[in-house]
């Protein structure tokens, strides 16, 4: 019946349909006025990675709201990769969806330079009780750009060696406080058996996964990503020695299926007594259960040439320059990273759950010392000695211990780690992987050779 | 399955039938296994869920469900419900007359119109993100559940029109002619003939739109933050960089999949009829 005009009854039906559409569209627009960024001017939105410290903050946000009746806080948790993408999109498009976000040490100097995040030093200066000097120096340095703090630490970590004292003792191994990688490898071989693997190391590709521990090994073996003129250095003997060592250790005494092992997999293997040692984040010890909690010993990150080879990472609160509620956002960031917040977590949720690695004063609280026990001092000393500005034996033009603080590193790191994953899986040799990695790094280095 | 009596009074075991049944159940099991595994994981403790090799025998616990429900699940659930139900209703309200026009009273260049509808699905979602995002930002529609509902409507409308049109084509034209002889208006035709006859098709279309919207993550994560965040955003929030989370994630995913499962179960009769409409002429 083509070409037939709508009759009166058709028009009667069309009008309500059109009306419904307009009503929905109208509701959308009116909802948008309130919905975009919160229903009232004092509602702030924090985008955060999910980790146990953040879960505790969610539980305690009511305490903040009851003492600051004018500010409501919405916390959105996202996986790390999604958070990075969303926050980048938010600041780049200046859309103001978030008033605060958790930001890593990798992003802080980069985003501060671009003007994406607010300089927090003026805000800190207004609060005499904030005590920025109490922030652990290594962390404070990593969050500083042009002598100003651009984020405040909520959680900090370095890396350390965790080992089962009972298993090592049964194999006749004594682990020193400051072991070398050669000592660790020898211990791993000795304790390795058909039921227990010597060590768990991350093999899962990703710049924040496998490359984090491997980078610290490279650093202490004397390797570096670039020389001061931004020439890629991945074809150096030090890189070959470090990667060969890491892969051989995994193959001879590491966990099965190492190519898929990240933090979670290693934690589970360690907790269930399937591995005797684990080199990873200092926070890992807080998640130990059963025999792992009772019988673990802790040593500083193993070394080769360079001392203090542990990594440095902090999830910190940063404020996007696009936020329209900066004062309210700072009030919350101030509260969540204050000395008093640590005490609040301790008294309300338990001292073992206080966010580690942020404030020196936390480590002098007797209750925290007792709860964090054996790994508290190792954590504090590891973080204090990690230096993002001097991560390697030879000089480098970049900052960052387990990363290179340039925009291209996320992609470069992911690609390079995939090449190493192929080596772990037996798909190629160390030489082949390093040759490809060198080409990738050289292309990035050219961007900085002016 | 009963054995067949053949000539001579001997029983012949239906081997072929049994073999096909086994193959059928095997395929069902393969498809269903991930869901089953998710349910099992949700009933374990975190260490059990993360263990390798997997823990098969365990004492079920609802601990992780309690953890999930003690969080802020309801707002995410309500947002999902608003966006999904709203967009599905809108797809039906807009799609049914469009499908009617294209099937029963074909307009000029119907094929072109149909192609235009489906061509909007050719564009990768990622390609439409930037313009839509900037538009939403400028119209102050970011983190707005109604805006997300409208986006879902635009995603599902072409599919809805195509599906509904295929169901409408199954109605014998004589029925419309008879109705028109009796003086039925367009509205009466739609109400008294079209809707009752293609009810299974409408149910199938609704459910498909509902499932697509309920599970949608890409636009939800890009266009919402806190006020309008939907269930998939709630789910990924459990993926933690530090600590164990598999059991919690499985419990949250189980809860999130319940409404769609429930809708499918309620509408299964209509759904099967709807999805097989037109299969046999």
* Digit-coded pLDDT (tens) for A72-104: 999 988 888 788 888 888 888 888 889 999 999
Q: Is A262 helix (H, G, I), strand (E, B) or coil?
A: coil
Amino acid A85: pLDDT:
84
Q: Are B18 and B86 in the same domain?
A: no
Sheet holding A296-300, edge to edge: A197-200, A275-281, A159-164, A296-300
Asked if B145 lies within 8 A of A80 by C-beta distance, the reply is no
We report the CATH number of the domain holding residue B170 as 1.10.3720.10
Q: What gap in Å lies between CA A347 and CA A343, rounded to an integer?
A: 6
Q: Report residue A189 as tokens.
A: 């071989």
pLDDT band at B275 (very low <50, low <70, confident <90, very high): low
Domain count, chain B: 2
Q: What is the pLDDT of residue A7?
A: 43
Contact yes or no for B242 and A284 at CB 8 A: yes
Q: Which residues pair with residue A75 across a beta bridge?
A: A46
Looking at residue B120, what is its pLDDT?
A: 82
Tell me: do B14 and B145 sit in the same domain: no
User: What proportion of chain A, given as a percentage, has pLDDT over 70?
Assistant: 91
Assigned domain for B263 exists:
yes
Which domains does chain A possess?
43-156+313-371 (3.40.190.10), 159-311+394-446 (3.40.190.10)
Domain end (from B47, B64, B81): B64
A25 pLDDT more than 60 = no
Note the Cα A23 to chain centre separation in Å. Answer: 45
Residues B132 and B243 in one domain: yes
Partnered with residue A232 across adjacent β-strands are A226
- In a domain? residue B281: no
Decide if A206 contacts A213 (C-beta within 8 A). no
Which residue in B has a C-alpha nearest to residue A32's C-alpha?
B141
**Predicted confidence band of residue B6 (pLDDT cuts 50, 70, 90):** low
- The pLDDT-based confidence of B7 (bands split at 50, 70, 90) is low
Q: Is the pLDDT of residue A15 over 50?
A: no
The answer to whether residue A2 neighbours chain B at the CB level (below 8 Å) is yes
Tokens 């994560």 sit on residue: B221
> What pLDDT score was predicted for residue B41?
94
Q: Please, are residues B39 and B247 in contact by the beta-carbon 8 Å criterion?
A: no
Contact B50 A10 (CB under 8 A): no
Residue B138 and residue B21 share a domain: no
The residue segments making up the domain with residue B246 are 65-276
Answer positive or negative: Cα dihedral of A300, A301, A305, A311.
negative
B28 and B132 share a domain?
no
- What's the Cα-to-Cα distance from A363 to each of A338, A353, A358, rounded to whole Å? 14, 13, 10
Whole-number Å distance between alpha carbons of A294 and B149: 52
Residue in B closest to A10 by C-alpha:
B186
- The one-character DSSP state at B124 is -
Residue A420, CA atoms < 13 Å, CB-side half-sphere = 36
B59-66, Cβ contacts within 8 angstroms, sequence gap of 24 or more:
B64/B247, B64/B248, B64/B250, B64/B251, B65/B251, B65/B254, B65/B255
Rounded Cα gap, residues A53 and B229, in angstroms: 22
Chosen for mutation from B46, B168, B225 (greatest number of chain A CBs closer than 10 Å) is B225
Residue A5 pLDDT level (bands cut at 50, 70, 90): very low
- Model pLDDT for residues A305-327, shown as the tens digit of each residue: 999 999 999 999 999 998 889 99
Interval A117-134: pLDDT, tens: 999 999 999 999 999 999
Q: pLDDT digits over B142-155, tens only?
A: 999 999 999 999 99
**Strand order, beta sheet including A43-49:** A72-78, A43-49, A100-103, A313-318, A152-157
**Adjacent-strand bridge partners of A298:** A162
Backbone angles phi, psi at A254, to 5 degrees: -90, 180
Residues 6+ apart with CB under 8 A from B117: B157, B158, B161, B162
Is B157 in the same domain as B42? no
What mean pLDDT comes out for the span A148-177? 95
Name the percent of chain B lying above pLDDT 90: 42
Judge whether residue A27 has pLDDT over 80: no
> Is pLDDT of A17 > 60?
no
Q: List B residues 17-76 in contact with A (Cβ-Cβ < 8 A).
A: 47, 50-52, 71
- Residues within 8 A of B (CB atoms), A 286-315 only: 287, 289
- Here the ipTM equals 0.70
Residue B113 and residue B237 in one domain:
yes
Mean pLDDT for B70-82 is 89
Rounded to an integer, the average pLDDT of B206-230 is: 91
Tokens of A21: 């559409």
* Residue B212 pLDDT > 80: yes
Do B95 and B55 reside in the same domain of the chain? no
Q: Same domain for B136 and B210?
A: yes
Question: Chain B interface, mutation test: which of A268, A289, A313, most B Cβ atoms within 10 Å?
Answer: A268
| pTM summary value | 0.78
Query: Which of the listed residues B46, B64, B82 is the one where a domain comes to its end?
Result: B64
Q: Please check whether residues B96 and B148 belong to one and the same domain.
A: yes
What is the spatial distance between Cα B184 and Cα B278, in angstroms, rounded to a whole number?
Answer: 26
Six token digits for residue B3:
């054995």
Between B238 and A234, the higher pLDDT residue: A234
Same domain, residue pair B160 and B52: no
Cβ within 8 Å, pair B145-A35: yes
pLDDT tens string A337-394 = 999 999 999 999 988 888 888 999 999 999 998 887 788 889 999 999 999 999 999 9
Higher pLDDT, B11 or A208: A208
Question: Does A36 have pLDDT greater than 60?
Answer: no
Task: Find chain B residues with C-beta within 8 A of A79's C-beta.
Answer: 236-237, 239, 241
Res A421: pLDDT: 94
Q: Where a domain ends, among B49, B64, B79?
A: B64
Phi-psi region of A37 (alpha: psi -120 to 50; beta: other; left: phi over 0): left
Q: Is the pLDDT of residue A334 over 90?
A: yes
Please compute the mean of the pLDDT values over residues B181-185 and round it to a whole number.
Answer: 86
Instruction: Supply the pLDDT for residue A31.
Output: 39
**A419-433 pLDDT tens trace:** 999 999 999 999 999
Q: How does residue B276 score in pLDDT terms, banded at 50, 70 and 90? A: low
Task: Check whether residue B72 and residue B123 sit in a common domain.
Answer: yes
Q: How confident is the model at residue B280 (pLDDT cuts 50, 70, 90)?
A: very low
């Amino acid at each position: 019946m083509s070409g037939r005009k709508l009759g009166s009854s058709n028009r009667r039906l069309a009008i309500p349909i059109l009306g419904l559409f307009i009503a929905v569209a109208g509701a959308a627009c009116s909802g948008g006025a309130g919905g975009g960024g919160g229903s009232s001017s004092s509602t702030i939105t924090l985008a955060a990675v999910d980790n146990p410290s953040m879960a505790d903050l969610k539980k305690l946000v009511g305490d903040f709201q009851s003492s600051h009746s004018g500010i409501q806080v919405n916390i959105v948790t996202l996986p790390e990769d999604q958070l990075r993408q969303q926050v980048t999109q938010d600041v780049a498009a200046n859309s103001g969806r978030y008033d605060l976000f958790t930001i890593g040490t990798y992003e802080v100097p980069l985003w501060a330079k671009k003007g994406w995040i607010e300089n927090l030093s003026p805000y800190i200066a207004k609060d005499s009780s904030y005590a920025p000097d109490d922030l652990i120096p290594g962390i404070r340095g990593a969050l500083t750009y042009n002598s100003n703090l651009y984020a405040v630490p909520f959680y900090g970590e370095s890396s350390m060696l965790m080992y089962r004292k009972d298993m090592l003792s049964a194999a006749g191994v004594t682990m020193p406080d400051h072991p070398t990688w050669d000592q660790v490898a020898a211990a791993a071989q000795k304790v390795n058996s058909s039921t227990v693997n010597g060590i768990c190391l991350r093999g899962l590709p990703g710049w924040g996964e496998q490359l984090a521990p491997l980078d610290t090994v490279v650093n202490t073996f004397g390797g570096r990503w670039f020389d001061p003129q931004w020439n890629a250095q991945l074809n150096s003997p030090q890189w070959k020695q470090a990667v060969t060592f890491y892969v051989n250790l995994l193959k001879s005494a590491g966990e099965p299926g190492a190519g898929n092992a990240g933090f979670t997999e290693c934690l589970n293997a360690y907790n269930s007594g399937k591995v005797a040692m684990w080199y990873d984040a200092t926070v890992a010890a807080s998640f130990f259960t059963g025999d792992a909690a009772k019988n673990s010993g802790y040593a500083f990150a193993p070394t080769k040439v360079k001392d203090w080879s542990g990594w440095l990472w902090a999830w910190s609160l940063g404020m996007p320059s696009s936020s329209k509620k900066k004062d309210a956002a700072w009030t919350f960031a101030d509260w969540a990273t204050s000395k008093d917040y640590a005490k609040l977590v301790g008294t309300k949720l338990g001292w073992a759950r206080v966010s580690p690695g942020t404030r020196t004063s936390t480590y002098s609280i007797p209750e925290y010392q007792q709860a964090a026990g054996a790994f508290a001092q190792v954590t504090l000393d590891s973080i204090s000695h990690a230096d993002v500005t001097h991560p390697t034996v030879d000089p480098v033009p970049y900052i960052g211990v387990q990363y290179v603080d340039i925009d291209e590193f996320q992609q470069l790191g992911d690609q390079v780690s995939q090449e190493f994953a192929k080596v772990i899986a037996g798909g190629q040799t160390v030489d082949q992987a390093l040759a490809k990695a060198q080409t990738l790094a050289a292309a990035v280095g050219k961007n900085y050779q002016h | 399955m009963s054995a067949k009596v053949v000539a001579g009074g001997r029983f012949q075991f239906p081997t072929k039938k049994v073999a096909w049944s086994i193959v059928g159940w095997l395929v069902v099991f393969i498809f269903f296994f991930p869901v089953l595994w998710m349910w099992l994981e949700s009933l374990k403790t975190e260490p059990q869920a993360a263990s390798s090799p997997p823990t098969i025998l365990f004492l079920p616990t609802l601990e992780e469900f309690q953890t999930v429900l003690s969080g802020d699940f309801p707002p995410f659930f309500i947002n999902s419900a608003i966006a999904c139900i709203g967009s599905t209703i809108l797809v039906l309200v807009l799609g049914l007359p469009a499908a009617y026009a294209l099937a029963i009273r074909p307009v000029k260049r119907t094929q072109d119109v149909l192609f235009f509808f489906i061509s909007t699905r050719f564009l990768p979602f990622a390609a439409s993100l930037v313009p839509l995002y900037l538009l939403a930002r400028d119209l102050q529609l970011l983190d707005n559940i109604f805006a997300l509902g409208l986006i879902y409507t635009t995603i599902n409308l072409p599919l809805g029109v195509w599906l509904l049109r295929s169901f409408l084509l199954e109605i014998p034209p004589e029925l419309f002619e008879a109705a028109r002889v009796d003086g039925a208006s367009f509205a009466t035709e739609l109400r008294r003939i079209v809707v009752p006859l293609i009810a299974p098709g409408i149910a199938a279309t609704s459910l498909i739109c509902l499932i697509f919207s309920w599970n949608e993550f890409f636009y939800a994560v890009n266009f919402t933050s806190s006020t309008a965040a939907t269930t998939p955003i709630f789910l990924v929030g459990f993926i933690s960089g530090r600590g164990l989370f598999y059991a919690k994630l499985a419990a949250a995913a189980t809860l999130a999949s319940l409404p769609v499962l429930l809708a499918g179960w309620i509408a299964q009769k209509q759904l099967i009829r709807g999805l097989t409409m037109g299969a046999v002429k």
